[in-house]
């Protein structure tokens, strides 16, 4: 499980995958999300604009990421 710190109150799922280093480009994130390969809080998520907040978990490619806020 990896903790990924964000500098804003929330972040879109596609942006988060890129920020976390899980994908190289936003286009790659978009494709993976649409293919149903990403889970947010245990549920498959197909919306790239899904807002993530500190405490949310993202599962992708066998790895789990935890969203952390800048003040945590």
Domain extent listing, the chain: 2-69
| pLDDT value, residue 71 | 62
- Three-state DSSP at 53 gives coil
Write out the chain's pLDDT in tens, 72 residues. 999 999 999 999 999 999 999 999 999 999 999 999 999 999 999 999 999 999 999 999 999 999 999 765
| pLDDT value, residue 70 | 72
Distance CA 48, CA 14 (A): 5
- The CATH number of 2-69 is which of 3.30.70.20, 3.40.50.1820, 3.40.50.150, 3.10.290.10? 3.10.290.10
> What are the residues whose beta carbons fall under 8 Å from the beta carbon of 25, sequence distance 6 or more?
18
> What are the residues whose beta carbons fall under 8 Å from the beta carbon of 4, sequence distance 6 or more?
16, 19, 20, 65, 66, 67, 68
């Amino acid at each position: 499980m990896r903790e990924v710190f964000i500098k804003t109150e929330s972040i879109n799922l596609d942006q988060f995958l890129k920020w976390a280093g899980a994908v190289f480009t936003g286009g790659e994130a978009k494709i993976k999300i649409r293919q149903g390969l990403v889970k947010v809080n245990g549920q498959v998520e197909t919306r790239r604009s899904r807002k993530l907040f500190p405490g949310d978990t993202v599962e992708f490619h066998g790895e789990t990421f935890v969203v952390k806020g800048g003040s945590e």
